[in-house]
Structure 1
């Protein structure tokens, strides 16, 4: 009985950890609709900054899709791309680029750019958990 309880507790902790990574990814990168002029507002509302600081991020990508569409890249609609999974089809995205370098929240000012391109991110257990910022398709020609 104790072993069963311990296994259930361990499984619960694993699922909880997975959910935390996906929830963070979802907050930081998935948005149904967004105008390119909304970068300042969305970045501030979602509390997006450099890790463990209040420094403004130099650039950031938002995927204009619903959660199921993005999750599906990890399951059926993606292919391996190094350590990432790349979407088979292009997505609409908004790239927010910092205009005032070195700024700190809440004084970040961004320029938005709309693109349609394939996206790449790391998947764990069928969920996106890390946007492949350095390997994203929009940086390729």
Structure 2
């Protein structure tokens, strides 16, 4: 069966456009939770199946206490360039969950701590796809 060249280009274009959406969905799952609290790290990380690629407990995971829209806006007017990332113009409340034991999922245990920080994210096609970190203070 032959696929015309134009159809093949269309399929490849669709695959490229779909990729940021999949990465955006993963970003949301791993980093956005407006109802998160310091005491919920273990449960939320387990429920959302957050772990490393090689099925180990993730050392640190940060949740942004926000809805999707304000975080996505950092990729536009609510953020500015920061190397190859975008940094937020406003600080966000975050929960940083740090691993406190050395086991395999689902027995990971975390200690959560809340902060208010500017955040740095990587954007692709206007969507956040990677949480790079939180920053206490940006120099002008």
Do the structures match in fold with TM over 0.5? Answer: yes
Aligned to 2:50: 48
**Shift in alpha-carbon separation, 1:116–1:22, aligned structure 2, 3 A:** same
Confirm or deny that 1:29 pairs with 2:27. no
Equivalent residue runs for 1:1-141 within 5 Å: 2-53=4-55, 55-100=56-101, 102-133=102-133, 136-138=134-136
Structure 1 unmatched ranges of 5 or more: none
Higher helix share: 1
CA RMSD across the alignment: 1.8
Structure 2 unmatched ranges of 5 or more: none
SS in 1 for 2:129: strand
Distance 1:83 1:137 in 2: 15
Aligned residues: 136
Runs in 1 of length 4+ with deviation above 3 angstroms? none
Q: Give the CA deviation at 1:75.
A: 1.1
Which digits, 9 at most, give the CA deviation of each residue in 1:11-44, with x for residues without a partner?
Answer: 2111111111111111111112111100000000
Distance 1:137 1:6 in 2: 44
SS in 1 for 2:63: strand
